[in-house]
Amino acid sequence: MDLIVKRVYDEPAADDGYRVLVDRLWPRGLAKQRAALDEWIKELGPSTELRRWFGHDSARWDEFRRRYDAELAGAEQLWRPLLERAASQRVCLLFGAHDAEHNQAVALKEFLGRQR
């Protein structure tokens, strides 16, 4: 499985593979052309309630991942195609948050790794 995580504001690279934005909200100030997305699966982002509760507070990271995993468990139709694609090509999970270690793309990558 070939999954990577990258900030959507970073320059696209030739080795990014299939670029998927996994934020529920469009990243502030980013032109769609500059994002160079292959797909935007906004429903894969955490629910509005969970996103607001988390507020990118790293102290809430473990609980955020637990709650987000529960949301993802009920959305297999959204993440299963990404898992299948990652079996044959690189998939780049894109996020807009400033924190590169505590965001939904990192949590989603970990979740997908457990689904193999």
User: Tokens 């160079």 appear where?
Assistant: 36
Element (H, E) at 7: strand 3-7
Q: Would you call 10 helix, strand, or coil by DSSP?
A: coil
How high is the pLDDT of residue 61? 97
Q: Which residues pair with 40 in a beta bridge?
A: 21
How high is the pLDDT of residue 33? 86
How high is the pLDDT of residue 17? 96
Of the candidates 87, 65, 62, 82, the residue with the CA atom closest to the CA atom of residue 22: 82
* CA distance linking residue 31 with residue 72, whole number of Å: 28
How high is the pLDDT of residue 32? 86
* CA distance linking residue 46 with residue 80, whole number of Å: 16
Of the candidates 69, 58, 67, the residue with the CA atom closest to the CA atom of residue 113: 69
pLDDT along the chain (116 residues), means of 10: 95 95 93 91 96 94 97 95 96 95 96 92
How high is the pLDDT of residue 116? 76
- Helix residue spans in the chain (DSSP H): 32-35, 48-54, 61-73, 76-86, 104-115
